Amino acid sequence: MANAPYDEASSSPPLKPAQPLSRIRISLAMKGVVFLALPIIIQGFILFRLWELQDQAKQNTRQCRIAAEVSETVSHLMVDHIDPVTSIFGALDKDLDLSEDYQVQTGKVISELEKLKSLLSQSPSDVALVDLSIEKDHQVIELGAEAIKRRAEIRRDNEARKHLVAQLFSMRQYYEPLFHMGKRMSSFVVDESPAYQAKVRKDQKQFLDLLFAIDVFMFVLGALFLYLHIVARLNKILDNSKKLALGENPDKPAILFGLDEISDVGESLHDMAAALIRAARKERATIDNASDMICSLNRNLIFITSNPASRALLGLAPQELVGRELIDLVEEQDRHHALQSLNRIVQDSSGTGGESSFDLRLRHESGTILDAQFSAVWSEDSQSLFCVVHDISERKQAERLQKEVMQMVSHDLRSPLTSIQAILDMFRQGIGGEMTAEGENLLALADRNAVLMLRLVNDFLDMEKLEAGMLELDRSLTSIDSVFDESMQIVKVQADAKQIELHAEPSALTAVLDRERLVQVLSNLLSNAIKFSPKGSAVKLAASETVAGGIQIDVSDQGRGIPVEMQSTIFERFKQVQGSDTKIGGAGLGLAICKALVELHGGSISVKSAPDQGSTFTITLPGDGGDSA
């Protein structure tokens, strides 16, 4: 079935379409190996062929030398084999004993035949022919030696002489093949070998010409490959980098000769450019939609760019703001401060990229005055000030209102409360005459409420001073034991009312600190411990020296403990630990003030607590008392 799914047991898997060459990944190293190996292989083949031709020429030369020696030996043999026959007939004609001459002459013939056999050792057929001649020569030699011995008898017997002559001349048939072989060898030396050598030289020249042509072709091909595949692509990447630096969109790199490291760099650059463009669009959208005015100024404090928030802040559209001087928009009394601050930012930030912020008043296009916070940074590269202008008019109004409230609390609440306390003291001393028991109770209630109100006012004022950085420490060398005694004396009445034992472990430690503020911190912690401790329990104070040479103070109680989820927030303003079984008053400023005062000494405060197992507040102060306020 045409649409049946592939079945591994019955059919072959469908073929995937071939991947385009431009998408095949081939590394630069692999391309370099292929590019270098191809000409090496071609040149190797040509050099091998040249070596073969050279070897053939050497073999031909060696064959030519052997053929010349064979031809020369055959020529000598054709001459020398006559001498023994001459000696035989000379001995018969003159009746001389020429045995020694004959022996020398035949030995020479045999020696030349052996030499010929050695020269023709590579040709079995020629060796067989020489062996036959040697065999027949030995027969003739024996015949000739016998004839010399019987020379007198053969001289008298004509038939024997004729028979000897016939046998001697019958040897010609064995020498004729040797003669033709010598002639063939001579022809090879004279005709065939020079022609073959000329052909070899011609072939060698052709191969050398081909090798030169291939080298030129590979050089041209390599230059084109290097330019098109590497130089041109790197130039394209360089052009794209320049476009990217100018903020232009780079071109998509062409993929040639497959994927490789250069194409990876090109695509990475293109992807980076796309990411930068997306980031620039997001940044532009963020700037355009920011509620704060974001702008840039040149060295002369003239607006270069601005986002649309300028319309809401100053009543001017960005295109209306560009080209105007900042100083024209600054309230006249703040112009010197603005110039001084901006010039300091330019001078201090040159080459460092530093930034700074300051407040000044700006004039809206409608004429109204607004408070603004300038955050500026100078860019040495673009020679521009990049600024963020935040409208702080509401914050400034709140600060002015807060200051008025502070003044009201200080003069309109604390002073009358102090007067009320003084009057109550006078009544307790009997200035109004003797009071009834009910009057005494009402007087004590009024006094407690006045003390609570005055303490709340003082806590509020201390908190404001701490946050404004207006509270200074009066440091001196102080005994920790004396601080413990004074702090316990302040809360003694409160502790006695709940029958709670106050215990301080003696330490004999001293430190440079503000005694009054440390007493304030410890009395606050002791007061809280008494509030949350059961009747008849104990609250302990202990001091010890830390490893770093500082002082650690622990305030421990046996109260209900602090829930884990609240331990990280109890040092914040207006935070209190509340329970369904207790109704304890307070504004929630005490621990926040304790934390601020301890930190003003350069120390830290923390708490460890578990439900129904009490709490331990730990104050750690530096050995030298910390930095001065």
How far apart CA 388 and CA 290 sit, in angstroms, is 10
Beta strands 615-621; 604-609: pairing state = antiparallel
pLDDT value for 483: 94
Q: Which residues pair with 372 in a beta bridge?
A: 360, 391
pLDDT value for 95: 66
Structure token pair of residue 225: 């490959």
How far apart CA 351 and CA 381 sit, in angstroms, is 9
Instruction: Split the chain (629 residues) into runs of 10 and give each run's mean pLDDT.
Output: 41 47 67 79 84 83 81 77 74 71 79 81 80 77 76 73 73 71 75 78 84 85 81 81 75 60 77 80 80 90 91 90 91 90 80 67 89 89 89 82 67 69 73 72 71 66 66 87 92 90 92 90 90 91 91 92 81 64 57 87 90 90 60
Q: Quick one: which of 617, 521, 512, 495 has its CA closest to 562? A: 617
How many helices and strands, by DSSP H and E, does the chain display? 20, 12
pLDDT value for 627: 47
How far apart CA 43 and CA 37 sit, in angstroms, is 10
User: pLDDT tens-digit profile of 117-126?
Assistant: 788 888 888 7
Structure token pair of residue 515: 């005694």
pLDDT value for 302: 92
At residue 609, what is the residue type? S
pLDDT value for 618: 94
Q: Which residues pair with 621 in a beta bridge?
A: 551
**What residues contact residue 589 under an 8 Å CB cut-off, 6+ apart?**
456, 459, 460, 463, 573, 574
User: pLDDT tens-digit profile of 127-161?
Assistant: 887 787 777 777 777 777 777 777 777 777 777 77
Residue carrying the six token digits 């009395």? 523
CA distances, 526 to each of 104, 363, 489, 533, 556 (Å): 148, 54, 11, 10, 9
pLDDT value for 580: 42
pLDDT value for 159: 77
Residue 238 phi/psi, 5-degree rounding, is -65, -45
Contact 301, 342 (CB under 8 A): yes
